[in-house]
Amino acid sequence: MLPPIDLDGQTALVTGGTRGLGRSIAARLAEAGARVVVCGRNEPDDLAGGVSFMAADIRDHEQAIGLVERIADEHSRLDILVNNAGGSPACPAEDASPRFIDAITRLNLLAPLYLAQAAFQHMQEVGNGSIVNIASVSGTRPSPETAVYGAAKAGLLNLTQTLAQEWGPHGIRVNAIVVGLARTENAVAFYGDANAQSKVDASLPLGRMAEGGDVADAVAFLCSPLASYISGARLQVDGGGERPLFLDLAKGG
C-alpha cells in the first residue's frame, strides 16, 4: 500500500483557490498538512478549513510579485505553487477586442509566469519546489468561442515543459494538469441543465465529468514525494477524453 500524501510543514499558494476547482485543491493540500494561501481580488465570505487568504490581482506583475513576497515573509518559505486561476467567457474570435485579448492572456498565461518567476527565487534557495499549472483540453484541441483562452492554455503547456527544463537543475519540478470537462458551480452555463449534463456525462469513457476532488488529488500527487521524478509532464484528468464527433456522425447519430 502506498503511504498517504504528507505535505506537513510545506507552504502552498493556490491561485483562484476561493471557489470551484481551486477551492477543492486548496482544501486537499491543507488536508495533507500544508499551510495553504489562496488569493483573489476580493476576500470570500468563507474559506476551506486550514486555508488563509491574501488579496491580489495576479494579472498585475507587481501585485503577483508582492503576493509571493508576502507569503515568503509570513511563512519563511514557499514550497508549492498551483497556478489554477483562469477561465474566459465565450467570445467569437472575430469579436475579441484588444482589451479582451489582453485580459484573458494575462490571467491564463502571464500571471502563471509572473508567479513562477517569483516563486523560483525562493524555491531555488532551498533546492526544491513544485509548480503545478492547471491547463485545459482547450489548449490541446480547437477551442471554438474561446480562441484566446485556448491559445493561452496551449502556451501554458509549453511554458510548463520549458520551465521544467530550465529549473530542474535547481530541484524545482514543473508539471501541468490537463483538465477535461469538469462540473463546477458554473456547470449550467457551460453544459446546460441536469438533463443536458447527464448526456455529457454519458459521452465520456468513465461515465462522468471531473469533480473538484479528481483534480485536487492529482495536484496533491504531483506535489508529493510520490512524484519526485515527474517533471515537465502533462497529466490528463479527463475521464478518458472526449469522443470524436465523426464516430457518431458516421453511424448516422
The total of other beta-carbon atoms located within 10 Å of residue 198's CB is 13
DSSP string, 96-161: --HHHHHHHHIIIIIHHHHHHHHHHHHHHHHT-EEEEEEEEGGGTS--TTBHHHHHHHHHHHHHHH
The C-alpha angle with vertex 62 and arms to 57 and 65, in degrees rounded to 5, equals 90
Please give the grid coordinates belonging to residue 101: 485579448
What cell does 159 get?
511554458
Instruction: Return the closest-CA partner of residue 108 out of 73, 72, 160.
Output: 160
Radius of gyration of the chain (CA): 18
Tell me how far apart the terminal alpha carbons of the chain are, to the nearest angstrom: 45
* Residue 135 · residue 192 · CB < 8 Å: no
Active-site residue flag, 149: yes
Residue among 114, 149, 191, 229 flagged as catalytic? 149
DSSP-assigned beta bridge partners for residue 173 = 130
Helix axis angle for 20-31 and 212-223, nearest 10°, is 50
Residues acting as catalytic residues? 149
